[in-house]
Amino acid sequence: MNGKPFEIALYGKGGIGKSTICANLSAALALKGKRVLQIGCDPKHDSTRLLMEGRMLPTVLECLRDSASGEAPLSEVLGEGYLGIGCIEAGGPKPGIGCAGRGIISAFEFLEKKKVKERYDIVNYDVLGDVVCGGFAVPIRREYADAIFLVTSGEYMALYAANNILRGVRNYDGDKHRRIAGIIYNRRLVAGEDERVSRFAKATGLPVCAVVPRSDLFSKAEEEKKTVMELGTEGREREVFLKLAESISEDMPLFEALPLSDEDLERIVLGGEDFSPSKKAPDVKETPVSECDGCEEDMPRTDEAAQEQASRPPLYGCAFNGAATAAIHLTDAIVIAHSPKSCAFYTWQNISAPGRRNLYNRGILMPSAISPNFEPTLIDGHDVVFGAVDKLRSAVAAAMEKKPGAVIVISSCVSGIIGDDVLSTEEMSTDEIPVIVLPADGDISGDYVSGMDMCLKRIAKRLIDRNAKPSGKKVNIIGEYGVSNNTDVNYRVLKSWLDAMGIEIGCRFLGDATAAEVRDLLSAPLNILALDTPDNAKLKAWLEEEYGCVFFSRCLPVGYRATENFLKELGEFFGCEDRVAPVLEAERERYLAETEKYKEALKGKKVLMTTINTDIDWLWDTAEQAGAQFVWIGVLNYLRQQLRLTSDPSRKAVIHEIQTRSDILDAVEKYAPDIVITGYSDDMPKGAYVTDSLPMTQRVGFYSGIDVLDRWSLLLENRREGEWVNDREYFEKYFA
Ligand code: SF4
C-alpha cells in the first residue's frame, strides 16, 4: 500500500445479503493483517452491525443534521469494531423526505474533510445496488472505488441490479478504464441459479470471484451479532472469505464494464441463451456523455417544443425567475422563494434593476420593484439532504401572521430535485389569505416565459371572481413587462389620458395590483393589452376563453399616429368622444412644436437602422417631420414572419432582410449615414456617424419619437472625437 488505501466497493440489490458479505470480507481482510475501514452507504445503516457486536452506530448524516453548525467530530461516527476495523455508517434522511443521494455525497464530503481513510490499508464500501441517482453512484466514481464487486444471487432482479451497476460504471469509465473485479455470487438455492449466474458472468466477461454458500452458520453468527469470521468455526463459509480477501490487492485483475441491454439480459438470464464475451455487449456507449461535443444541439426535440421556442422573443432566465418577476407585482402579497440564497439574490437583482434605474434617472418610485415583498427560505446543503418542507411551512406561517393579500410560494431547481411537496402548503390557505403555489422548479419546468405564464394563470385561477359583472367606465391593463424601464412611465402616461376621459383603471394584470383588484378583474368591461408580443397574444386568448374577457382592438400606442387612433377609438367605446377631442387638440400643437425644435439638428440627416420585425412607423413619422431621412433599414426577421415595419407602401423600398453583420457594414459604406441605429452599436467600426439603439419597450404616447430625436440631436452635437465617449470634463469632474 502506498499511502492511499486500496478502495473496494461492493454493490448489490437491497436484501441480497450484501452487508453480511461485506462485513465478513472486512473481517477476513483484517485477519490477513490489513487495517480495514468499512463504510456503509445504505440509508438503513446496518452495514457494520455485525462488526460492532450488534451496536448500531450513529450515522454521519444524523450527526450533521443534529449539530447546529452542520459540523460533527469524527469520533461520534467512527466506531472501532472486530480486530480494530473502522466502522462508519453514512445514513440517510427520513423516508420520503429530502434527498438520500445527496446525503451520500454530504457524508462522503464529511469523511474526505476528516481525512479518515488515510489511517487504513483498505476501504470497503457497502453500497445499495439500486443506483437510482448520481448520489448513490458516488462510490463508483474513480476518486473512490479502485475495484468494484457485484454481489448477486441467481434471481433475475439481483442480476438486473448487477447489470445496472455495470451501466453506471460504464457511464463513468467508457472503455478507458477497467475497475470491475468480478461477481460475488451469494447462493439462494433457487432452481437454475448457478447456470443463470454463469451465463451472466460469461456474457459480461466477468469472473465469479467467490461463491458464498447457503449456510445456517450465517444465521447463527447473526444471532450472536458476529461475522462467521469472528465465530471462528472452520469450514467452507470462512474459507470463501479468506480466499477472496487474499485475492484483493492493487495488482488484482480488473475488467471493463460491459453491460447488457435489457432484452439481452432477459434472453440470457431467463431464456437460457449463451452470449459470447468476445462480442461486445450491445448496451455499450462508445463515448461517455461528458466527452460528447455538441450534445445539446443533438438532443432530440419535439417539433412542438421547437415551434414553441421559435415563436418567443429571446427572454432568458428560468421559470423560477420568471414566476417571481411576475408574482411580486401582486403588491399586497408576500412572495416566498423556496430556494437557496443565490437563486433569490439573482432574481431580486433582476426585479429591482428597473426600479433602481427609474428612481435614479427620473425620480420615479416603483415600490414593488425597489423593495419587493420577496423572501427566500434559504435552502442550504442540510435542507437538501433532509428536506425543506418544514422550513417552507414555517415561512408560510410567518408570512400569514402579517395578514397579506396572498402568500405566493415559488419552488426552485433545488426544491424540485429533492422532491419537496411544495403544493401541500396550499392547504394552509384561509378564507382571507390564499396560499398560491407556483411549482416552477427553476429551469426544470421551463424558462422565464413559462414561469411568468404559470404565475399569471395560477394567480388568476385562485383569485378572479367569476361572479363579478362588467360595469361603468373601467379598463384593465394586461401583460405589462415587469422588467422594462418604461413600464411605470407608460402607465402614468396612460393614466393621465384616462383620467381626462373619466375612465377608471381597474386591475393591472399583473403590474402592481392588489389581490382585491385581481379578484375584481371581470368588473371592467374592457381590457387593453399592453404590448403586442406572442406571449401576450397567448395570455389574451386564454383570458378570452377562460373568462370571456373583452379586449380592445389596440395595444398601448407608441407614437403620435397610433396614440391619436387609440384615444379616438377608446372614446367611441365608452361614449366619451367629447372628452377626447380637447386632449388631441392640445397634444397636436405640442407635438408639432416639439418636432420643430429638432429640425435644425436633424434636417437632411441620413438614418440607417437595424431592427427586428416590429412597427417603426411611430419613429419614421417623427423623424420625417423633423427632416431626417431613413436611407436603409435592415431587418433581423428571426421568426420568419411577414414584415410589418410600416403600413406605408412608399416606405418599403428601403427595407431589407439581413442575415449577417457584414450586410450592415456594406450598407454603412454604401449610404454614408449620419446616424446608425443598431443593437450592435458597440461593435460598429468608427466612422463619421453616431450610433444609438432603441429600448426593448418604447415609451407610450404622442412623444415616443420625440424622445428618440432628442437623443439623436444630443449625440450629433457631441460627436467631436473623444468628446462623447470619453468626455474629459465629466471624467475630470467625477473621477480625476
Ligand atoms: S435555474 Fe435553478 S438554480 Fe438557477 S436561478 Fe433558476 S432556480 Fe436557481
Residue nearest to atom 5 of ligand 1 (CA): 343
- Name which of 277, 264, 269 is nearest 193 in CA terms: 269
- State in Å: Cα 320 to ligand 1 middle: 7
130 is catalytic: yes
Instruction: Name the residue range of residue 495's domain.
Output: 474-588
**Atom 8, ligand 1: residue with shortest CA distance:** 343
Locate the ligand 1 atom nearest the alpha carbon of residue 441 and give its number: 7
The CA distance from 635 to 613, in Å, is 6
Kindly give the distance from the C-alpha atom of residue 335 to the centroid of ligand 1, in angstroms, as a whole number.
Answer: 16
Distance from residue 90's CA to the centre of ligand 1 (Å)? 28
CA of 441 to the centre of ligand 1 (A): 8
Residues 452 and 488 reside in one and the same domain: no
Please indicate, yes or no, whether residues 611 and 584 belong to a single structural domain of this protein. Answer: no
> What pLDDT, on a 0 to 100 scale, did the predictor assign at position 682?
64
pLDDT value of position 382: 84
In this prediction, residue 709 carries a pLDDT of 92
Distances (CA, A) of 226 to 187, 237, 411, 453: 20, 14, 47, 61
Whether residues 87 and 150 share a domain: the answer is yes
CA 450–ligand 1 middle distance (angstroms) = 14
> What digits encode the pLDDT tens for the residues 563-607?
999 999 999 999 999 999 998 999 999 999 999 999 999 999 999
**pLDDT given at position 284:** 38
Q: Is 603 one of the catalytic residues?
A: no
Which residue among 325, 349, 384, 413 is best mutated to probe the pocket of ligand 1, counting the most ligand atoms within 8 A of its Cβ?
A: 413
Q: Which of 39, 34, 37, 43 is nearest to 65 (CA)?
A: 43
Residue 13 known to be catalytic: yes
On whether the CB atoms of residues 130 and 164 are closer than 8 A, the answer is: yes
Top mutation candidate among 320, 351, 380 for ligand 1, by most atoms within 8 Å of CB: 320
Rounded CA-CA distance 8/25 in Å is: 11
| Catalytic residue, candidates 4, 44, 220, 403 | 44
Measured from the CA of 347, which atom of ligand 1 is nearest?
A: 5
311 within 8 A of 304, measured Cβ to Cβ? no
CA 339 – ligand 1 centroid, Å: 8
Instruction: Give the end of a domain, one of 237, 269, 301.
Output: 269
Quote the pLDDT of residue 278: 45
Read off the DSSP letter of residue 519: H
Is position 18 annotated as part of the catalytic site? yes
Compute, in angstroms, the gap from residue 377 CA to the centroid of ligand 1.
14
pLDDT at residue 473, rounded to an integer = 96
Q: Has residue 221 been placed in a domain?
A: yes
Between the CA of 321 and the centroid of ligand 1 the distance, in Å, is 7
Q: What is the pLDDT of residue 728?
A: 54
In whole angstroms, give the CA distance from residue 548 to residue 542.
9
- Residue 518 C-alpha cell reads as 385581481
CA of 343 relative to ligand 1 center, distance in Å = 5
The set of protein residues with a Cβ atom below 6 angstroms from ligand 1 is 318, 320-321, 339, 343, 346, 412-413, 442-443
In a domain, 287, yes or no: no
Q: DSSP states of 102-135 as a string?
A: HHHHHHHHHHHHTTGGGG-SEEEEEEES---STT
When divided into structural domains, the chain yields a total of 4
Q: What is the DSSP string of 154-223?
A: SSHHHHHHHHHHHHHHHHHHTTT---EEEEEEE----TTHHHHHHHHHHHHT--EEEEEPP-HHHHHHHH
Place of cell 403555489: 437
Which is catalytic among the residues 18, 391, 540, 605? 18
Domain at 575, CATH number:
3.40.50.12380
Residue 76 is placed in which grid cell? 461520534
Give the helix/strand (H/E) hosting 632: strand 629-636
User: From ligand 1's centre to the CA of 410, what distance in Å?
Assistant: 11
Looking at the CA of residue 340, tell me the nearest atom of ligand 1: 8
Q: Are residues 640 and 500 in the same domain?
A: no
Whether residues 642 and 499 fall in one domain:
no
Give a yes or no: residue 734 inside a domain. no
Q: How far apart are CA 670 and CA 429, in angstroms?
A: 66
Report the nearest atom of ligand 1 relative to the CA of 321: 6
Strands (E), 441-509: 474-478, 504-509
Within a domain: residue 727?
no
Q: 342, 343, 341, 340: which is closest to 320 by C-alpha?
A: 343
Within a domain: 312: no
**Residue 208 maps to a domain:** yes
Q: Over 360-383, what HEC string results?
A: HHHCCCCHHHHCCCEEECCCCHHH
- Same domain, yes or no: 618 and 550: no
The CA–CA distances, whole Å, from 659 to 102, 324, 326, 612, 676 equal 47, 35, 34, 12, 17
The best mutation among 349, 350, 412 to test binding of ligand 1, ranked by most ligand atoms within 8 Å of the C-beta, falls on: 412
19 and 126 in a single domain? The answer is: yes
**CATH at residue 618:** 3.40.50.1980
624 and 572 assigned to the same domain: no
Identify the residue whose C-alpha is closest to ligand 1 atom 6: 442
Nearest alpha carbon, ligand 1 atom 7: 442
Of 559, 588, 617, which residue is a domain's last?
A: 588
Return the CATH number at 90.
Answer: 3.40.50.300
Task: Please choose from 318, 378, 417, 438 the residue to mutate so as to test ligand 1's pocket, defined by most ligand atoms within 8 A of CB.
Answer: 318
Q: Report pLDDT for 142.
A: 78
Choose one of 315, 316, 321, 378 to mutate for the ligand 1 pocket test, by most ligand atoms within 8 angstroms of C-beta: 321
Buried b (16+ CB within 10 A) or exposed e, 95-116: eebbbbbbbbbbbbebbeebeb
pTM of the model: 0.72
Q: Return the pLDDT at 68.
A: 64
Q: What is the pLDDT of residues 57-104, one digit of tens each?
A: 999 988 888 876 667 789 999 999 999 999 999 988 877 788 888 888
Cis peptide before 567 (omega within 30 of 0): no
Ligand 1 centroid from CA 296, angstroms: 19
Give yes or no: residues 561 and 490 share one domain. Answer: yes
| Residue 59 shares a structural domain with residue 113 | yes
Choice among 130, 194, 532, 710 that is catalytic: 130
Contact 148, 167 (CB under 8 A): no
- Tell how far the Cα of 422 is from the centroid of ligand 1, in angstroms: 16
pLDDT of residue 613: 81
Q: Which of 193, 185, 252, 191 is nearest to 21 (CA)?
A: 185
Task: Give, for ligand 1, the residue of 315, 316, 339, 454 to mutate: max count of ligand atoms closer than 8 Å to Cβ.
Answer: 339
**Residue found under cell 461475522:** 227
> Looking at the structure, do residues 533 and 647 belong to the same domain, yes or no?
no
479 and 550 inside one domain:
yes
Q: Residue 280 falls within a domain, yes or no?
A: no
Q: Which residues of the chain have pLDDT under 70?
A: 1-3, 68-70, 131-132, 275-316, 354-355, 357-370, 482-483, 680-683, 718-736
Within a domain: residue 112? yes
Which atom of ligand 1 is least distant from the CA of 346? 5
